[in-house]
Each structure stands twice: as structure tokens, then as C-alpha cells.
Amino acid sequence: MSDAIKSTLSEDRKFEPNAEFSKAASFGSAEAFEAEYRRSIDDAENWWAEQAKSLIPWMKPFTKTLQWERPYAKWFVDGETNASWICVDQHLKTDRKDKVAILFEGEPGDVRKLTYAKLHAEICKAANALEAMGLMKGDRVAIYMPMVPEAAIAMLACARLGCPHNVVFGGFSADSLRDRINDAECAAVITSDGGFRRGKPLALKAQVDEALAEGRCPSVKKVLVLQRTKQDVTMEAGRDHWWHDTVDKASAEHKAQPMEAEHPLFLLYTSGSTGKPKGIQHSTAGYMVGTTLSSRHVFDLKEDDVYWCTADVGWITGHSYIVYGPLSNGATVLMYEGAPNTPDWGRFWDIVERHKVTVFYTAPTAIRAFIKAGDEFPNGRDLSSLRLLGSVGEPINPEAWMWYHTVIGKERCPIVDTWWQTETGAIMITPMPGVTSTKPGSATRPFLGIDAEVLLEDGTPAKANEGGYLVVKRPWPSMLRTIWGDNARYEKTYWNRYDGQVYFAGDSCRKDEDGYFWIMGRVDDVLNVSGHRLGTAEIESALVQHEAVAEAAVVGRPDDLKGQAVVAFVTVKTGVEVTDALKKELRDFVGQQIGALAKPDDIKMAEALPKTRSGKIMRRLLKDIAAGRELTGDITTLEDKSILDKLRS
């Protein structure tokens, strides 16, 4: 283990901005940033209007900045633009035409460089092919792809036509894919035969076939299939079309259609504390303003940067910070298909060295895995091209932050720990590189235009260092517009907590004496496993679908590598024998139902679950048991106390 972690560090350690970096940063000084921040809050509408006019091109200018009918926001409502046109067409009139837009590295080592001109041509071809298949503005399109340039091309082709995309992470199962297709009533699916992961071709088209089988996705009329791995697939005549037979043969000219500012750009499903995943709906213009602004300032993008965000396009991080934000800024975006440990744990550093990556954005779970793998991997590579590091997805523990700072950043690169969510569309709390002094483990302070606060249960602001709920007090352009088809759930989940007055993020947080935010984690039944968001309710409902299972309760357990591990407490039906084979079967069953990322790390077979007299499972106790902690809090409402001893033994 590296010295950086062994050293004992108190969390009040503070790192001043690197003076060399500050010279060329977006904001030269803390005062300059502070003044801009104040204006962005005190004169919010005018400030956002200025941003919207200068950051993105418009097909029809807007005259109205914000229409706020609590809790529904419309931004720039009478304006028109097109996200695909913003991301590519605007650069074609400049020197960026021949600049590399997407620098792709496949897991097997194949490298492709797509200039903005080439990317534009590919998007136009895909848009023409989709149109020829009968897709029209407003039709939803599911995208289930590996991390290859065509995933971004498919998204931008949909945006060009005004077809909201619904990207489903390739690690989700056929059942999860089907649920997401059906909830959004998608007219088409864009997929690939498969992708390369840990040296193996993974199958995607086969999963699509399973999802669509027996007419179980009645809305889907067409499936477009990219050939990536060349594995055998079955093609259904009339429904399925090869990318190389359609897209590759289509015209490379396509005029982007003007979209109303509020036209939904995409839906992205994410887990909540109850029920099925919800379709988070994002707009066109507001989302583009938020992602363009944050990419530019938070990542300090400069013309010659090679920017690499290691997320998958299946998550919001991939949407906002692989595709829309960086491309809108005309950046060179590196895209890597595979696993961080293929062929070994040095792969990322090898990529950084060979492609001279300058800005690198990853998740704490990856950082912790690198720490465990050993410093010899990064130390064996030339990382001198790096100038800025980012972290996202979960709280970064100070030890991981220090390792990132010393071993990767060589104490030279600013670290931006960015807090945000699928719902917020863009980064909300983050240091400004070159400006904000950083403290390991804190996302520091709200970004421009973001009025964040920590509130107590009763709605009063928490005092310094007092824990409370993280909220946002005013609307911001890239905020979610609603949950697809379910306004009631939108209101209930995000707004009812404080009478519709503020956006409730679902995270607990404290603000220290310097006004720095320390995110403590979810307050609801949402887990964060390796930076992936999972609902305990989803995993429970998968488990109880198994014939052997009577009841299931799922909780998170702190985990050094994953942040949280999934622990399932399961009772079986009478007569079922509890064996290790059954446990394995249940894990695999969850994998099939949801996806491998949701497989419980630990299944604890129980005779009964601890319940209140009114029959409610006492999850709080299960969390303590899972973590091997002393039981906390009141247990007087527990119906049968002997259950606890049995569970602990």
C-alpha cells in the first residue's frame, strides 16, 4: 500500500490552488469567482440568460428565460435549438472541423479517431437511416450499446431528429431492458451484436431478442444492429437491420431539425427508494446550457486538451460528460470500451500515457481498486500529461483522495470532487480548479447558478457541521423536468419533503465552518454500489420472484472497495432446504432479473426478519447486523427480540 494512505491525515487538511494552474484558469482568483457566483444567484434570471446566449447557438433566440410553475420549470421556452447541431455542426465552420472529436480505444486495442467533420457525417448518416426506418420527432428510441463511438453517434442522431433517447446500460439484463423499453414505449432499439469486456465478447443483441420475445415490447417496430464483435446473432426479417446495410449506405447530409427548448432530449432510468426505476426526463436547451457551462469551467477545458471520462454512456455521467458537455465545447473526448483491469490494472495509465490525456474524470470505486492493485501500475507510466483530475459518483474517502492527489496527480493537478445526480443533469457542487482550496473528501461549494443548502427536518438551515438534508433552493436549467409519465411521483420524490419549496436531493450532508459541503450519503433506500445506483426495493422484488423465497430484505453494508455492498436477508418457503447452491442460485437469479451489478455480495438466510408489531421490516437493525455493528437505537417496537440473536449468530 502506498505511503500516501498510510500517513495519518485529519480531514481538516486543506490544499491551496496551484498557482501555475490558476494563471490560465477560467476564473483567475477566488474573488473573481465569488463575484460571479453572487451575481449568478442574486440576479439569476439575467445571469442564466447571458449564459444561454453565449454558451450555445440557437436556431431561434429565446425571449423568456424562466417560467417557474412550482415545481415545474421551463427554461428559454420560446427558443429553438438542436443538441446534435450544438455538439457538432457549430464546430464545422471553425478550425475544429479537423480536430479529433472522439478518440476511441477498444478493449482489444483497436484505435479510431473521428474528427468533428467525420463525426458529423456519421451522425447524419445514422439520422437519415433512422428516418428511413420511419422514426419521427417525439418517438422514443432505446439505445443498448457497448462503449463504442456508435453509441454517441446513435444518441446524437436521435437528438437530431428530436427522438428522445433512452440509453440502457449494457450491463442490465433483458428483463431490465424490457421494463425500460415498455415504460417509455420505445419505437425502436439501437444495439450491437455485443462488446468486448474482460477479453470476452459480451452479447447484447441476444438480450434484446429476449427482451422483445413473444411480443412483450409491443411498441418496438425496428431494431438497428451494429456489428462490433462479429459473434453470431439472429436477425428478424423486417424488424432488424444491420448498421452497415443501412447507416453506412445513407447520405452524409442531414439538416438538424429545430427543437423547442423544452423538447425532451432524453429519458434515463434510475433507481428510487420504491418501485421500478423511474424515467428521468431532461430537456434540450436547459440541459445543453448546464452541461456546456459546467464542462467548460469545472474541467477547465482548453483547445488542446485530451479529455477522458471513464464512465459508461449508460449512466448520466456518460451523457453529460462524455457526449453533450465536452462535444458542445469542441473538446477531444477519449472513449474506452473495456475494463480497467484488462489486460491488467495498468490499462488506464497506459491509455493516459499513449494518448497524452490531460483531464481525467473517474469514480472513487475505481480509485480504491487502483490503490489495492498497487502503485507499480501508475508508477510504471508517464502521467505527466495530466493536469486536472475529477471524481464523481459517491463520496470520496480522504485516503483515496490523497492517493489520487499524490500518486496520480503528483501533487500538481487540482482535484474536482463533483457532486450531482441523474436528476440534476449537470455538476452542482464542486471546487473550481485553480480557485477553490480543496479538502480531501469534500465536494466544497456550489457551482455557478446553484443555490444549495443543508436543511434540518423542520426546514430550518442546519448550523455549521450539523448534519441535515441537501436541497437546492431554486430551479436551474439542467434540472429534470419530470419523471416520464408520472408527475405525481416527481412531486412526491423531490418536492413534497419541504412543501414544494425546495428540491430534495435524497442525500444527507453537513456544511463546515467554511461553508464546504460534505456529502454523507443517501437518506433513502437507495444503494450506491461501485458508483452505481440501485434500489433495495428492486432487488427485493427480484428475490421474491424466485420460487424458494418467502421474504427478502436488502440493505447496504459499508465496503472498502465498492463503497457499499449488497446484503440480502432471505427467508425461504416451508420445506425448502437452505444450501450454498441455493444461495448461488439466488445471486444468479438477481443477475438475470436486473443485471450482474445488482447481485447480492452476501445472502443471509434467516428464519424470520425483524419486524415491528405492525409488520414493518426494521431495516435499521438489518443494516447494523450486516455491518457487524452494535445495534443502534430503539428496539422496543420489535415484535420478537429472539430473531435478532438468531440473525447475529
Provide, for the chain, the percentages of residues in helix, strand and coil under a 3-state DSSP scheme, each rounded to the nearest 5.
35, 25, 40
Q: Using CB under 6 A, which of the segments 63-71, 93-101, 195-203, 393-401 binds ligand WT7?
A: 393-401
Q: Whole-number minimum distance, CB 442 to ligand WT7, in Å?
A: 9
Using CB under 6 A as the binding rule, the residues of this chain from 610 to 629 that contact ligand WT7 are none
Angle at which helix 44-55 crosses helix 285-298, to 10 degrees, equals 80
Report CA 405 to chain centroid distance, whole Å. Answer: 23
The DSSP bridge partners found for residue 203 are: 194
Residue with cell 443471509: 604
What span, in angstroms and rounded, lies between the C-alpha atoms of 440 and 426?
22
Q: Using CB under 6 A, which of the segments 74-82, 250-258, 418-426, 449-457 binds ligand WT7?
A: 418-426
> Applying CB under 6 A, does 402 fall inside the site for ligand WT7?
no
* Closer by beta carbon to ligand WT7, 81 or else 528: 528
Single residue of 85, 401, 403, 420 touching ligand WT7 by CB under 6 A: 420
3-class secondary-structure state, position 80: strand
* Closer by beta carbon to ligand WT7, 33 or else 169: 169
Size of the site for ligand WT7 (CB under 6 A): 21
Q: Whole-number minimum distance, CB 384 to ligand WT7, in Å?
A: 26
Q: Whole-number minimum distance, CB 625 to ligand WT7, in Å?
A: 23
Q: Using CB under 6 A, which of the segments 42-50, 191-199, 386-394, 631-639 binds ligand WT7?
A: 386-394
* Closer by beta carbon to ligand WT7, 106 or else 286: 286
Using CB under 6 A as the binding rule, the residues of this chain from 287 to 346 that contact ligand WT7 are 316-317
What span, in angstroms and rounded, lies between the C-alpha atoms of 76 and 67?
8
Choose among 221, 208, 59, 87: nearest CA to 153: 87
Q: Whole-number minimum distance, CB 513 to ligand WT7, in Å?
A: 20
* Closer by beta carbon to ligand WT7, 130 or else 316: 316
Residue 76: left if φ>0, alpha if ψ -120 to 50, beta else—which one? left
- For residue 154, what are the CA distances in angstroms to 72, 103, 137, 277, 307? 29, 16, 15, 23, 21
Q: Whole-number minimum distance, CB 113 to ligand WT7, in Å?
A: 27
Q: Using CB under 6 A, which of the segments 194-202, 478-486, 502-510, 545-553 binds ligand WT7?
A: 502-510
**Beta pairing, strands 388-392 & 66-69:** unpaired
> Applying CB under 6 A, does 417 fall inside the site for ligand WT7?
yes
Q: Whole-number minimum distance, CB 460 to ligand WT7, in Å?
A: 22
Single residue of 146, 395, 425, 556 touching ligand WT7 by CB under 6 A: 395
| Burial class for 640, CB neighbours closer than 10 Å (0-12, 13-18, 19+) | exposed
> Applying CB under 6 A, does 422 fall inside the site for ligand WT7?
yes
State in Å, rounded, how far the first CA of the chain is from the last one.
33
* Closer by beta carbon to ligand WT7, 387 or else 522: 522
Q: Whole-number minimum distance, CB 380 to ligand WT7, in Å?
A: 29
Q: Whole-number minimum distance, CB 316 to ligand WT7, in Å?
A: 5
What span, in angstroms and rounded, lies between the C-alpha atoms of 479 and 497?
17
Angle at which helix 580-593 crosses helix 536-544, to 10 degrees, equals 120
**What character string, x for contact with ligand WT7 (CB under 6 A) and - otherwise, covers 430-449?**
-------------x------
Residue with cell 472513449: 335
Q: Whole-number minimum distance, CB 244 to ligand WT7, in Å?
A: 34
Q: Using CB under 6 A, which of the segments 11-19, 152-160, 197-205, 392-400 binds ligand WT7?
A: 392-400
What span, in angstroms and rounded, lies between the C-alpha atoms of 442 and 440?
6
- How many helices (H) does the chain have, and how many strands (E)? 23, 30
Q: Whole-number minimum distance, CB 73 to ligand WT7, in Å?
A: 19
* Closer by beta carbon to ligand WT7, 400 or else 519: 519
Question: All 3 cell numbers of residue 149?
Answer: 463511438
Q: Whole-number minimum distance, CB 597 to ligand WT7, in Å?
A: 12
> Applying CB under 6 A, does 282 fall inside the site for ligand WT7?
no
Q: Whole-number minimum distance, CB 421 to ligand WT7, in Å?
A: 4
Single residue of 506, 563, 600, 610 touching ligand WT7 by CB under 6 A: 506
Q: For the sheet containing 165-167, what is the strand order?
A: 240-242, 222-226, 188-192, 141-144, 165-167, 266-270, 278-282, 482-483
| Helix boundaries (H) for 302-395 | 316-318, 325-328, 347-355, 364-373, 376-379
Number of residues that this document lists for the chain: 649
Q: Whole-number minimum distance, CB 506 to ligand WT7, in Å?
A: 6
Using CB under 6 A as the binding rule, the residues of this chain from 528 to 557 that contact ligand WT7 are 528, 533
> Applying CB under 6 A, does 522 fall inside the site for ligand WT7?
yes
Residue 276 is given by DSSP the state S
**What character string, x for contact with ligand WT7 (CB under 6 A) and - otherwise, covers 239-278?**
-------------------------------x--------
Helix or strand run (H / E) with residue 22 = helix 19-23
Using CB under 6 A as the binding rule, the residues of this chain from 26 to 85 that contact ligand WT7 are none
Question: All 3 cell numbers of residue 520?
Answer: 454523507
Q: Whole-number minimum distance, CB 268 to ligand WT7, in Å?
A: 9
* Closer by beta carbon to ligand WT7, 212 or else 505: 505
3-class secondary-structure state, position 416: strand
Q: What stretches of 485-545 adopt beta strand conformation (E)?
A: 503-511, 517-522, 526-529, 532-535
Give the footprint of ligand WT7 on this chain (CB under 6 A).
270, 316-317, 392-395, 417-422, 443, 505-507, 519, 522, 528, 533
